[in-house]
Structure 1
Amino acid sequence: MTNNFFKSALLRWLLPSLLALLLSACAGAGSNRLVAEGKIATSISSVSHYGKGIGIGNFYVNGSWGGVQYNGWGGGGKTVCCVSLPYKTSTPTMVTVKWETYRTAVTEKRWHEATVPLHISEAKPGTGYGAVVHFLPGHKVEIWIADEGIGSPNYPGPAYPRGPAPNYIHLPDEKPEPAQGK
Structure 2
Amino acid sequence: MTNSFFKFALLRWLLPTLIAVLLSGCAARGVNGMAPEGQTPVSISSVVHYGKGIGISEFYVNGRRSGHQYDGWGSSGNSCCLNLPDKPSMPLMMTVRWKTYRTNFKEERWHETTVPVNFAVSMGKSYGMVVHFLPGHRVEIWFADEGVGSSNYPGPPYPRGLAPDYVPLADEKPEPTKGK
Q: TM-score, normalised by structure 1?
A: 0.78
Between 63-72 and 42-51, the greater mean CA deviation after superposition: 63-72
Q: Aligned pair in 2 of structure 1 residues 119, 127: CA closer, same or farther (>3 Å)?
A: same
- Whole-Å separation in 2 of the counterparts to 1:97 and 1:90: 19
Q: Tell me whether 46-55 or 61-70 shows the greater mean CA deviation.
A: 61-70
Name the CA shift for 1:128/1:178 in 2 (closer, same or farther; >3 Å). Answer: same
CA distance in 2, matches of 1:105, 1:134: 23
1:181 equivalent in structure 2? 179
Which digits, 9 at most, give the CA deviation of each residue in 1:1-33, with x for residues without a partner? xxxxxxxxxxxxxxxxxxxxxx89823389x87
Unmatched tracts of structure 1, length 5 or more: 1-22
Structure 1 counterpart SS, 2:104: helix
Per the alignment, residue 146 of structure 1 pairs with 144
Count of paired positions: 157
Answer yes or no: is 1:47 the counterpart of 2:47: yes
CA distance in 2, matches of 1:150, 1:120: 14
User: Which one-letter code corresponds to 2:91 in the other structure?
Assistant: P
Give unpaired runs (5+ residues) of structure 2: 1-22
Aligned residue number for residue 67 of structure 1: 67
Partner of 1:79: 78
The question of whether the paired residues in 1 share the 8 Å contact of 2:27 and 2:43 is answered with: no
Percent same amino acid at aligned positions?
Answer: 62
Partner SS state of residue 77, structure 2: coil
1:96 pairs with 2:130: no
Query: 77-86 vs 41-50, which deviates more?
Result: 77-86
Greater gyration radius? 1
CA offset at residue 152 of structure 1? 0.8
Task: Please report how far the alpha carbon of residue 110 of structure 1 lies from its aligned counterpart in structure 2 after TM superposition.
Answer: 0.5
Alignment partner of 1:112 is 2:139: no
1:106 deviates by 2.1
Local SS of the residue matching 1:26: helix
How far has the Cα of 1:103 moved from its partner?
0.5
> Could you say if the C-alpha distance between residues 152 and 24 of structure 1 is closer, same or farther in structure 2, counting changes exceeding 3 Å?
closer
The one-letter code of the counterpart of 2:62 is N
Identify the residue that residue 3 of structure 1 maps to in structure 2. Answer: none
The question of whether the paired residues in 1 share the 8 Å contact of 2:48 and 2:70 is answered with no
Question: Per-residue CA shift, 1:84-111, capped at 9, x if unaligned?
Answer: 1122235210001111100131200001
Partner of 2:166: 168
Task: Show the counterpart of 1:58.
Answer: 58
Letter in 1 for 2:48: S
Specify the SS of the correspondent of 1:59: strand
Q: What's the C-alpha RMSD, in Å, of the aligned pairs?
A: 2.2
